Each structure stands twice: as structure tokens, then as C-alpha cells.
Amino acid sequence: MSQAQSTLDELISKDYEHGFETLLDMDVIPPGLSEDVVRVISAKKNEPEWLLEWRLAAYRHWLTMTPPEWASVHYPPINYADIIYYAAPKSQKDGPKSLDEVDPELLKTYDKLGIPLHERAILAGIAVDAVFDSVSVATTFKDKLAEVGIIFCSFSEAVHEHPDLVRQYLGSVVPVSDNYFTALNSAVFSDGSFCYIPPGVRCPMELSTYFRINAKNTGQFERTLIVADAGAQVSYLEGCTAPMRDENQLHAAVVELVAMEKATIKYSTVQNWYPGDKEGKGGIYNFVTKRGECRGDHAKISWTQVETGSAITWKYPSVVLKGDHSIGEFYSVALTNHRQQADTGTKMIHIGRHTRSTIVSKGISAGRGQQAYRGLVRVAKSAVGARNYTQCDSLLLGDQCQAHTFPYIEVKQPQATVEHEASTSRISEDQLFFCRSRGLSPEDAVSMIVNGFCKEVFKELPMEFAVEAQKLLGVSLEGSVG
Amino acid sequence: MSQAVTHFQGEFARLAGSLPGAGHPVLDGLRAAALARFVREGLPGIRQEDWKYTSLASLERRPLPVAAADAPEMPTLSAVVAQAVLPDAVHRLVFVDGHFAPSLSRHTLPAGVRAGSLANRLADQPDGSLPFAVDRLLAASAAPAPTGVPAAGSSLAVLNLALGADGFDLHIPAGVVIDAPILVLFVSASAETTSLPTSHIRLDAGARATVIEQHFTLHEGASLTSVVERITLAPAADLHHIKVQHANSKAQHVADTEATVAANAQLHSLVLALGGQLAREDLRITLAESGAHADLDGLYLARGRMHLDHHTTVHHASPTCTSAQDYRGILDEAGRGVFNGRVIVAKDAQHTDAQQHNANLLLSENAEIDTKPQLEIFADDVKCSHGATIGQLDPAELFYLRSRGLDETAARSLVTFAFAARALHRIDSLSPLFAALRTLLFARLPGGSALEDLTR
Amino acid sequence: MLEIRNLTAEVDGKAILKGIDLTVQAGEVHAIMGPNGSGKSTLSSILAGRDGYTITGGTVTYQGQDLLALPAEERARSGVFLAFQYPVEIPGVSNIYLLKAAVNARRRHIGLPELDAMDFLSLVREKVKFMEMDESMLYRAVNEGFSGGEKKRNEILQMIMLEPSLALLDETDSGLDIDALKVVSKGVNSLRSPDRAMILVTHYQRLLDYITPDQVHVLSAGRIVKSGGPELAHELERQGYAWLGDGAPARGTAPGAAR
């Protein structure tokens, strides 16, 4: 084995650090899915009739659908009857009123994950909504945000406190019937985060949701809805972990973003669900639909993702550019190691005039990992002067890995400019030798090269997340952030 | 049952007994199996990933009878030669409605070179199967080929096996070098017919040749030409393969071309799609042994309501092979272009160098391009890149020309022509072939006639 | 021939030219020198009619007409020629096409008959030989794959063929070895005549050893801060652009040069 290879193996073979389990008294419904289960979930959350009907319609539609087969991922058929669709820590009936009421075991769990829920001890300037299995267990800094008119709370709370807003926007970006997993999510989603930034308000701190799957055999189906009204600005972070288990667990989330005129939403994800073991046993199936809509002129939605976890990742954070001069961005680093599979990318749908989009995708395949970039850039006839620039690069770190690129480009507008570039390469012995001949250790040399490869994406992450991202890639990021 | 299936079943019943080599059990069996696949699947449909952007609905609605061997109006030699890109070609083989026309053909190829009609060979040697492997084609289905596996040919291509009577057959023995281009003209002479030429080109070790294949119509009506072509290059063989398609604006042209390139052999392919109401080119190249090389250049020029679709696959099956691909499209009026380029690098194909580029110019509000440059990589020590661009004329080039006194219109035509002419970069720009192709381009480009004067 | 009065211009909202005054008479050769970023190339681009510049004030009169009102091609046909600093590559279009199209566009404009193929060919062959170029390059695509020196020779070849009234040479000496510089200078000098004006835009004095200017102007931060005879170029060569900081006129603070 070459030196490069052994160094790489060391770097990419780090164990999963978040694989512990929290023992809690849980409220769990039996596995299986039926109209009754949908009704139970809705009843547990004390939901209004319209939402139950919405769920039931979604469920009935889901029954007519089949799972997508076009992605370059392989897994045995999922038995949806074996999944538990609702699991929540037992606590006061209406959930904790304040952090003092949150189960101390839970607080410990989040401390262990590095996500402080005590506001006093908090990372400066980040408000966190913590979602544990099916429910939101705590949301920090709510009051402070409320002072400037920002609503940031769990989805369940929003259904009760702000029903009109929820009803207006829910499913308006990602229709229930968009795909198999959105229909499923719409039927059984249990919680998630809701955020509304009123006109002209620039959110004074980073907002964040931390998703944790804990319970066994449960599916996590959360729903996030973020609305930035005219001129509003918000930066949103999302993190995820799960315990190590031998069974695969399904995570089918839906995230909807709405940016009105001149609004900006920046959505960053560091996804570190349990990837399964080296032989591919266990791990999360991360089948997520994320989409944003720039509804007003000069609106901007930016997705940044660092995807290192999950046995299978299937997600395409997208932007529908309706407003004139609106901007969509997608920056992605995805790492697949051992037997991980990722089919990820984005869709940029240009409808408004002079809309612009940028796609930067960096895929790193190691071990037997397989990875596909799948993207769509569509320029409608109406999108005069639209521009897209796409760059997707793959770095190959193992001789049994795979890297695929499937970009779809559809253009119906002669005043549009679309550029797509892609490359695939490996770290060469020459590069390593060059670095070492300048005094770097092989580990540092690989780190440096991998970091250089991901730099364009890391610089889009908020500082705190960039640090986490570096850690996740198992490399030090000296000098390439900020 | 679909109309096309019923139609071609009827054609099979009508023609099977008269196909060359008919009665021979192996051939008969293959033909029956081929028809069976077509009956099973019908024509490819837009639900199939490979046909997502190209609909054969008009073919389904109005399938045309398979053309007979003796065209009712056999074209004159002068009518055929008038269209030829090399009117003086010493090696000229003419196929009319898919059938070899000896009276219009001539060649002075050396002894040992076989160049002519596939029908003769099938009739003379019915003891063997068809001169190329057909197993994959017969076994294929409508399901998309999995990632990493080249497609095997559509249910349309399988019709050639079932009903195709003739085609171009070329075999150049080892070490033989043919300097003068071999011009092969496929003429659609009878409107309202289907032609199903099936061609086979084989170059043995070290052989070299240039084959120019030209497809055009001598009528103004509808017709379908569906070509199946198989190219086999033995080690160190070198083939320049130039295909020019300029059918009329009602005609349809579909081609399924597969090439296998052995060690250190080279295939230089150029495809110019300049005509047809609908034209679909599938070109699949397997670089089978180390050191094999393929370069693929293409140009599609869609005007009116033309729909031009190019699907390419370069399969790097062995280490140290190289490929370079440059396809460019000009979409004017309500023209529509489709490009789907796959580069597959197999697990052990280390030291692969594969490049692919697709550039498109949209000149009108109603033009459209759908492009999908794909990479499927299973090896780690590779250098692969691909790119696609869609855009307008380069303002720097336009300004340069205007600063030399050319008006905006002339500058635009010239830069548009330049964009197209890049596809011809492997052809000597002083050769008669280049001049002939340039003339074909000028006739189809905006402002081209004004440019024509400049070249005099 | 050319009169520039208080010309101001910006790019993307940033002022590049801050009031240029320059008069060039027929028969004169002017050199415009200046450090990088002083606006030299902007000035020649604006005179040739390149898009992307916003003229915010001032006038440019060429042979009695408002030059700025003309599109690029009209300027070229009226005899304004820009030799590009970075000549554009146009694959697929051979040099000889371009020369023929350009020469005939100019001839039509000034009421001369177009050259027939034979006359054109013998003329262009003669000029190619004069520029010590290989005739084969006529049939190569415009500037494609040309070395830096070949591109510059090709620019001068076009200039000689077009016989402009006002030639603007933008950094024509950059990227040239000494032999190419001599050939290019020979080409430029061959065009010097009482009814033709030239403006050489250059960073270095080197070119001026071969083409002696009548006047030298120093451009700095968008203004002409000093004008003089050929000796000014030598002074710049000795002292660099830094000394201009003190010599700048009171109204021109020239921050770029003062550093």
C-alpha cells in the first residue's frame, strides 16, 4: 500500500463519536403505518382539524406512490410497517415550559454533543431548537428573538401559536406529492422548527436546529419551515447525529424556505448521522427534501452542506428563482467512506429575469464509498439574462470507491449563460511528495490537499460550523477558513 | 398493441422470406428473436431515461413501410454526386433507401479489402451469424442501463436486425493503409419509406482508413432512416470516421453506432447533424484495451423545428486509454438540441484520461437545449473532466471584429461560423472536404451566404 | 486629427479617467506612458469603442466628427485602428478571411472599389513578407495558437493592410523579444506619414528606442500629469514613475503615482 493510501486510511477511519444512546422514559407508539397512526400522531400533538386532514390526504397519496429508483444508491426495500412513527421523551403533557423543566438526562445528552441548551453557558449568539426523536425538547433565546418580532419555535408550537402563518406556507414550496418521501413526511411528521422573520428584520443571531435520533427502530420525520419576509435576513444552522445501531433507520425530513423581496436566507447543514459500520451495517437512511423559493425580486437563498454521515444520503437542496434578480446558491462537501452511499446535488430553477445561481459541489470518495452528484439547472423561457455557474469536483481516495456526476441542464432562454465544469482526480504521489519535500508530514500534506479541495465550500459556513466541519473531515483546516 | 408494433410485425411477415440468407436457421432465429424484442417493447418512449427529451410519437402514429431493394425511382449518378461532399471521390459506395446500388458505386481499393454490400455477404455466407455480436442487443430491455454499464441499443435498433436487408460492409486487412477517403453515400430516394441500413466496419491490426458517411434525402417528403453500425478496430488500427447527415426537414434519422477500439488503436469520429426533422445519434465507444484512444467531435445545427439529439458513451474499460470529446450545438429558430454524454471509467481502468466538452449557442427565443454530461467513475487513478456551456457569442470576439470594420451582423455571423467550424478542427482547412463542409455550414447559418463570398 | 477635451470615464461606477486633455495632429506620434492602473489601456479602448465603459464627461473629436457617437466598426472604417494588447483568438476564422473582410469594409466606406481576389492576395503576400511572417499563417485561424510575438506581428500586419489615419497601439511591445520588437517597430515606422497620427500606449521606454515619438505624456491615476519631448521617456526610465509624485500639477493629486 502506498504511503498516500495508508495516511488517507488513517484519516478517514476515525470512529463515529456520537454513537452513544440516552436512556430515557419514552412515549412510543407501536410500529406500523395506517390512517389510525396518522390520527394518533395528530391527536398527540393536539392538532387542528385542517392539519389532520392535510396529513390524511398526504397519507392517501403516499399509498399510491412507489419509492424512487433513479438515484445511484442501493438498499434493500424498506419495510414501512416495521418503523415506529412516533417516539418522544415522556415529560409534562404540554412539554417543558422552560429549560429548567427539561429532563436533565436530555440536557446532558446535548452537552455531550457539544450543543449547550443552557442559555447562560451558550455559544455566543446562537439560538438552538433541539429536536429529540419526534419532538422539539427545547428552544433557546425565544424571548430575545421575540423582541424584534422573530418567531422561532418548534413546529408543534407554531401550529398552535401561529396557525395562519403555518397554514399559509406549509407545503407551499414542497408540495405533499412532490415525491415518495415528502408524501410520507407530510403524513407523519412529528416536529421540527418554525421560523418567521418579519419585514426588514435582520436576525441578530444564528438560528439553529439540532436533530438527534435516539430511540430504536424509529423514523425521524421532521419538518422545517423558514419564512423571511421582505428585506429580512437570517442564517440558519442544522446539525444531526444518532446512536450507533445495527439496524438502518429512516430519516425523511422536509425543509421549506420562503424568501420574499430582498430577503436573504442562508441555510447551513453539517450532517453527521450515524453512517453504519465499516461493513455497511446499520446507519441512517437520510432521504431529505429541501427546497427554497425566492418569491420576491432580489431575494437570495443559499444552501451550504457538509455531508459526512448517513449510510445513504439522498438529498437535493434546491432553489426556485421566481423573483427577478434573485439568487440561489448551493455549496456542498460530501464525504463517503467505507460503504456509505450518497446521491446528492441541487436543482436551480430559473424563472425570474436576471436570476443567478452558483453550484459548487465537492465530493470525496474513500473506501468503498460511492457518490453521485445529481443536479438540474433549468432556465425557463421567462428567465431573460439568467446565469448559472456550476463546478463539481470529485476527489478519489480509495481504489474501490466510485464517483459519478449527473448534471441535467435545460435551457429555453437565449439570453441565458450556463457554465458547468466537473473534474475527477486523486491525490497524486507527486503532490504528496512535493508537500513532504517542503517539510510537511504525510498527514499534514493530505489534510492540506483535502482542505484545499473543500475550501470554497468551508468558507461559506458560519465560523462555528466550519470548525465542526473540519473536525468531521478528520483534518485540520489551518489557514483556510475566514 | 401499439401501431408501430403491428406495422412492423406486418412488414416482417411480408419481408422475412426475402431477406438475404433467409432460410438459414441461425439467421432466421436471430431475426425472429429481434422482432420479439421489438414486439415486447415497442418504440422507445419518453419515460425511458435515454429518451426523456426525444419523443418518437410521430413515428408511432405513422410508421412507414420498409423500402424495397429496387427504388421505384432510382436516382441518377449526377443527382447523387451533386450532393456528395467529395464529388470526385475515387472510392464511392452508394446505398439507395438502404440497399447497395452497384451502378452508382465505384472503387479502386486494393485486393484483400472488402468494401460493399452486407447483403451479399449474408447471402453468400449464411453459415455464420451476423458479422457482429448481437447478443447484447437481443438481450437488452427498455430499462435504463445501470450506472457504469453502456447501453446495448434501443428497441428501434433491433428492427435492423429483424428487417434490415443490407448495409455497408468494410474489412481492411492488417497493415493496409488506404489514403483516399472512402465515401459512403446513404441516399433516401423514396419518400414515405423506412430504410434500415446495417453497416459493419472492421480494420485489422495496423490498418488505416478514412470513411466519410453521408446521409441525405433526394425527396421532400417524410422518411425514416434508421442506421445500425458496428465498428471494430484491431490493435494499432486508425480510423477517421466522418458522418454528415443533412436530410430534408420532414425526414427522420436515427443511428445506433457502436465501436470497439483495441490496444493502441485510434478512432477519430466526427458527426455533423445538419438536417432532419428529428435526428437521434447514439454513439457508444468502448476503449477495450490499453492505449486505445478515441476522439469524438460533433456539431448539431438545428433550425426551423428540427430536433437533434446526440447520446454518446465512452467506456474506458482498460487502463491508460484516452478520450476527448467536443460536441457543439447551434440552436436557431425553434430548433432543439439534446446532448447526453456519458464517460464511464471501469474499476481497473487506471490512468484514464477522459475529457468531454459540450458547448451550445442559443440564437433564438424559441430555441432549446437540454444537455447532460455524465461521468461515472469506478477507478481512482484517473483524470477526467467535463464541461458544458450554454451562452451567447463572445463579446470580446465581436468587438475585435468590429474594431476591424465589420458590422455587427457580419461579426455575429463570422463568430457563429467560427463556433461551428471548431468542430472541423481535425480536417485540413485547405482540403476540398473542408471547403465542402464549410459550404454546407454556410448554407445553414445566419448570414452564411455573405460569408461565402469571403472565402472566394 | 484628434482632440480630447476633459474626458472622464468610469467602469462599474469606479472613475478611471478623471479629465484627459490631448491634442494629436496629423503626422505626429504621441507616446502615452504610465504605471499599471493609470488608465492607459482604458483610454485606447474608449477611443476604439469597446463596450463596458461609461463616459461621464468630455468630448473626443476625430477629423471634425464626434468620435464617441460612432459604433466601433464605423470608427474602424473611418480610419481608427486599435492594435490590441491582448489580441483575441477566433478559432475557425482564418486570418485571410478577416483581413479581406476588414480591408473591403474600409474601402467601401471611403468609396473605393473592393479589391479583387488576385489583387488582394498579392497585396497581402507583400505585406506578410515585409512583416517577416510565414505565408501559411494567413490560412491559420485568427491568433489561434499564435505565440505572443506572432499575435503582435499579426496586429501590425492588419494595421498596414488597413492604412489607418489614427493608429492606437496598446502595449504593443509587451511580451515581445528583441527580434520581434524590431520587426514590429519596422512595421509601425513604415506607416509614419504626414497625414497619419499614432498614439503608442506603453509602460516601458523600450519601444520608444525604435519608434521615436514627437511627444510623450505621462498618465497617472486617470490624468495626464506631465508632457514633454522624447527626453521625458528617458527620464522616466531612469527614475521610475515614483518621482512624478512631486512633479504632478497642483490640481492632480495623482495618488497612484505618489505611493
Q: What DSSP line would sit under C78-119, residue for residue?
A: TTEEEE-SSPPPEEEEEHHHHHHHHHHHHHHHTTPPPPPHHH
Higher pLDDT among residues A347 and B410, named by residue: A347
Strand partners, C31: C200, C216
The answer on pLDDT for B271 being more than 90 is yes
Residue C94 in domain:
no
In the block, which residue shows the cell 428563482? A321
Mean pLDDT of B151-166: 93
pLDDT band at A11 (very low <50, low <70, confident <90, very high): low
Residue A346 in domain:
yes
Mean pLDDT of B365-392: 91
Q: What is the pLDDT of residue A109?
A: 67
Separation CA A107–CA A138 (nearest Å): 9
Separation CA A168–CA A295 (nearest Å): 14
Domain that holds residue A247: 20-429
The answer on pLDDT for A12 being more than 60 is no
The answer on pLDDT for B210 being more than 60 is yes
In the block, which residue shows the cell 515614483? C242
The answer on pLDDT for C244 being more than 80 is no
**Closest approach of chain A CAs to the CA of B285, in angstroms?**
19
CB contact under 8 A, A418 and B363: no
CB contact under 8 A, B403 and C88: no
Separation CA B275–CA C81 (nearest Å): 41
pLDDT band at B158 (very low <50, low <70, confident <90, very high): very high
CB contact under 8 A, B402 and C49: yes
pLDDT band at A241 (very low <50, low <70, confident <90, very high): low
Mean pLDDT of A206-234: 85
* pLDDT 10s digits, A369-408: 889 999 999 999 999 999 999 999 998 887 788 899 999 9
The answer on pLDDT for A227 being more than 60 is yes
Separation CA A332–CA A474 (nearest Å): 17
Q: How many domains does chain C have?
A: 1
pLDDT band at B83 (very low <50, low <70, confident <90, very high): very high
Q: Based on the number of CB atoms within 10 Å of its own CB, is C21 exposed (0-12), middle (13-18) or buried (19 or more)?
A: middle
C82 vs B contacts (CB less than 8 Å): 403
* pLDDT 10s digits, B173-205: 999 999 999 999 999 999 999 999 999 999 999
Q: What is the pLDDT of residue A1?
A: 41
Q: What is the pLDDT of residue A367?
A: 80
Can chain C be said to touch chain B, i.e. do they have 3 or more Cβ pairs within 8 angstroms?
yes
Q: What is the pLDDT of residue A23?
A: 66
Residue A367 in domain:
yes
Q: What is the pLDDT of residue A456?
A: 84
Here the CATH number for the domain that contains residue C62 is 3.40.50.300
- Per residue in C126-159, is it b (16+ CB within 10 Å) or e — as a string? ebbeebebeeebbebbbbbebeebbbbbbbbbbb
Residue C112 in domain:
no
Beta-carbon-side half-sphere exposure of residue C127 (alpha carbons within 13 Å): 26
Q: What is the pLDDT of residue C250?
A: 35
ipTM > 0.85 (yes/no): yes
The pLDDT mean for chain C works out to 86
Q: Is C76 on the interface with B (CB under 8 A)?
A: yes
Separation CA A302–CA A409 (nearest Å): 20
Q: How many domains does chain A have?
A: 1
The answer on pLDDT for A81 being more than 80 is yes
Helix (H, G, I), strand (E, B) or coil at C225: strand
* B contact test, residue of A72, A368, A379, A404 with most B CBs within 10 A: A404
Q: What is the pLDDT of residue C258?
A: 31
Separation CA B310–CA B328 (nearest Å): 10
Q: What is the pLDDT of residue C29?
A: 93
* A contact test, residue of B336, B390, B394 with most A CBs within 10 A: B390
B456 vs C contacts (CB less than 8 Å): 117
The pLDDT mean for chain A works out to 82
* pLDDT 10s digits, C122-155: 999 999 999 999 998 888 888 888 888 899 999 9
CB contact under 8 A, B403 and C87: no
Strand partners, A337: none
Region of poorest pLDDT, from A66-80, A114-128, A232-246, B427-441:
A114-128
pLDDT band at A460 (very low <50, low <70, confident <90, very high): confident
Q: What is the pLDDT of residue B138?
A: 86
Higher pLDDT among residues A26 and A291, named by residue: A291
Query: Do residues B173 and B234 make contact, with C-beta atoms less than 8 angstroms apart?
Result: no
Chains touching chain B at 3 or more Cβ pairs under 8 angstroms? Answer: A, C
Mean pLDDT of A449-469: 77
Separation CA B54–CA A156 (nearest Å): 46
pLDDT band at A138 (very low <50, low <70, confident <90, very high): low
Residue C57 in domain:
yes
- As a dihedral over the C-alpha atoms of residue A370, residue A373, residue A374, residue A380, rounded to 10 degrees, the angle is 180
Chains touching chain A at 3 or more Cβ pairs under 8 angstroms? Answer: B
Region of poorest pLDDT, from A232-241, B187-196, B226-235, C13-22:
A232-241
pLDDT band at A123 (very low <50, low <70, confident <90, very high): very low
CB contact under 8 A, A424 and B371: no
Higher pLDDT among residues B264 and A67, named by residue: B264
Mean pLDDT of B194-223: 97
The answer on pLDDT for A482 being more than 50 is no
Interface of A with B (CB under 8 A): 70, 72, 372, 379, 381, 394, 396-426
Interstrand relation of A233-241 and A327-336 (parallel, antiparallel or unpaired)? unpaired
Separation CA B252–CA B217 (nearest Å): 10
Mean pLDDT of A400-427: 90
Contacts of A60 (CB under 8 A, 6+ apart): none
The pLDDT mean for chain B works out to 93
Query: Do residues A254 and A238 make contact, with C-beta atoms less than 8 angstroms apart?
Result: no
The answer on pLDDT for A65 being more than 90 is yes
Domain that holds residue C10: 2-88+146-244
Mean pLDDT of A232-245: 78
Separation CA C74–CA B144 (nearest Å): 56
Phi, psi at C117, each rounded to 5° = -55, -40
pLDDT band at A474 (very low <50, low <70, confident <90, very high): low
Q: What is the pLDDT of residue A133?
A: 64
Interstrand relation of A135-139 and A126-132 (parallel, antiparallel or unpaired)? antiparallel
Taking the model in full, what pTM does it have?
0.86
B145 vs A contacts (CB less than 8 Å): none
In the block, which residue shows the cell 441565458? A416
Residue A480 in domain:
no
**Number of Cβ within a 10 Å radius of residue B385:** 18
Query: Do residues B424 and B432 make contact, with C-beta atoms less than 8 angstroms apart?
Result: no
Residue C65 in domain:
yes
Query: Do residues B113 and B173 make contact, with C-beta atoms less than 8 angstroms apart?
Result: yes
* pLDDT 10s digits, B90-117: 999 999 999 999 999 999 999 999 999 9
Contacts of A44 (CB under 8 A, 6+ apart): A27, A86, A88
B367 vs A contacts (CB less than 8 Å): 412, 414
Query: Do residues C83 and C170 make contact, with C-beta atoms less than 8 angstroms apart?
Result: yes
3-state helix, strand, coil in chain C (%, to 5): 40, 25, 35
Strand partners, B293: B266, B322
Between the CA of residue B26 and those of B38, B122, B127, B128, what are the distances in Å? 19, 11, 8, 7
Chains touching chain C at 3 or more Cβ pairs under 8 angstroms? Answer: B
Residue A10 in domain:
no
% of chain C surpassing 90 pLDDT: 49
The answer on pLDDT for A202 being more than 90 is yes
**Closest approach of chain B CAs to the CA of C252, in angstroms?**
32
Helix (H, G, I), strand (E, B) or coil at A124: coil
Q: Based on the number of CB atoms within 10 Å of its own CB, is C10 exposed (0-12), middle (13-18) or buried (19 or more)?
A: middle
